[in-house]
Amino acid sequence: MRLEFYIICNIVQGDKMKFIVMLLCAGLCASASAAKQAKNIIMVVGDGMGPSYTTAYRYFADDKTTPEVENTVFDRLLVGMASTNPHQVTGYVTDSAAGATALATGVKTYNEAIGVDHTKLPVQNVIEWAKMQGMKTGVAVTSQINHATPAAFTTHNESRHNYNDIADNYYDQKIGGQFTLDVMLGGGWDFFIREDRNLVEEFKQAGYQYIDSPEQLDSTDKTKALLGLFAKVGLPTALDTKNKQRLPALTKTAIKHLENEQGFFLLVEASQVDWAGHGNDIAAAMAEMHDLALTLEWLESYLQKHPDTLLVVTADHSTGGMSIGADDNYSWSPQWLTQLKLSPQSIAKQLVLSKDKGELASELLGFELNIEEVNRLESMDTGQANDFYIVLKTLLDKRSNTGWTTRGHTGIDVPVFAKGPGSEMFRGFQDNTQIAERIFSLLGKK
């Protein structure tokens, strides 16, 4: 903006220059005013969600009865792109811990670091700052709540793998005598209910309401702080969730508990987009993207009713090197991914014990297998569940013509989406650390 102002002032003279100056000043004032109006901030991270995922989801969700390819919520909210590289001590390809630390603190660090810089010193995150400003804070994720992304937004540890220590910090770490988080929703029984410590009981004694079933989400007391753990580690996949909408339900409940006069900061993570990418599982990936899309569509409607709320959405990195098209046929066929009754991993477990593997696979995949596919499954009488899982993924890749380049992460830029007061600050290209810096700015940090 300053460079544009300088150029215009040197080119335009007289009344025209005065008019343009007035326009620029009005724009700057409008941006500042919008930023001040952001009472609430909702940050959503699609873990592993590179640009191929949002593009593939557009085709996956396309209405085949119309000639055009319809835009999705991702298209409506897109405002820019962000680089993802970690600190130079690691290189150019980030893991979730370093990526989330950059998004949460504005500081680049080494892979596996949780809320610490490359020298392992703690750095302040946006949730801690929001709590210091009197806001309510929360996380709603489909992984365990002490996984890399929610941990980096909440606490500090030299390694993401210190799960018990990170869980302990959720209780032990205080901000001005208060717990950092008012709402925690996700998985994690194995880390919060242990032989050496029962953090659930400690939180209950401290006044938190505790729930351990998704069916309880609609009946919680919104006047109380809330801890909800619904699985030993991560939640069941989107395809294995009965109502197929687990992240929207978590998000709605979190916001119900966080709404207050001082405002709130909520981190939402579609954690298992990344897990599907690591597994090179295109069916699971599209289901996770759909779960996220439903969440964002609900948040769009929430913003319409609450214009003082800013929504910022991005990814920490891209996973799997997914390609929309795998050979020179120039095609991608997502229709084979739309009728699965369970995740490929769960189908594989059932196939191990099935006598008629071809018939069961056809039923659960939602389409008839050809002779070659049936014979491949029937020949695996002594196969293990993971063997069947690999066969099913290969089958779906071949049917859809999906390609993968890695089971790890890639270093490509990721999309940035935003809506609400202050959303213009996230337009264009930016480094991932700048996203945190701008959120700190919106929260009043100089």
DSSP codes joined into one string, 38-97: --EEEEEEETT--HHHHHHHHHHS--TTSSS----HHHHHEEEEEE----TTT-S---HH
Q: Evaluate if pTM is beyond 0.85.
A: yes
| pLDDT tens-digit series, residues 169-194 | 999 999 999 999 999 999 999 999 99
The answer to whether residue 446 scores a pLDDT higher than 80 is yes
Question: What pLDDT shows up at residue 383?
Answer: 81
pLDDT tier for residue 243 given thresholds of 50, 70 and 90: confident
Q: Which of 31, 33, 96, 346 is catalytic?
A: 96
pLDDT for 11 beyond 60: no
Q: How confident is residue 37, by pLDDT bands cut at 50, 70 and 90?
A: confident
What backbone torsions phi and psi does residue 182 show, to the nearest 5 degrees?
A: -90, -25
Residue 147 has pLDDT above 90, yes or no: yes
* Angle of CA points 45, 135, 313, to nearest 5°: 15
Query: Encoding tokens for residue 236?
Result: 């069941």
Catalytic residue at 96?
yes
Tell me which range, 9-18, 32-41, 401-410, is most confidently predicted by mean pLDDT.
Answer: 401-410
Mean pLDDT, residues 12-39: 49
Query: 30 vs 3, 12, 204, 417, CA distance in Å?
Result: 18, 23, 45, 20
Q: Which residue in this structure is represented by tokens 């593997």? A: 357
DSSP alpha helices (H): ranges in 243-343? 246-258, 272-278, 282-305
| All domains of the chain in start order, with CATH | 39-323+423-442 (3.40.720.10), 333-400 (1.10.60.40)
For 347-373, how does the pLDDT look when each residue is reduced to its tens digit (9 = 90+)? 999 999 999 999 999 999 999 999 999
- pLDDT tier for residue 381 given thresholds of 50, 70 and 90: confident
User: Quick one: average pLDDT of 104-131?
Assistant: 98
pLDDT one-digit tens code per residue, 53-111:
999 999 999 999 999 999 999 999 999 999 999 999 999 999 999 999 999 999 999 99
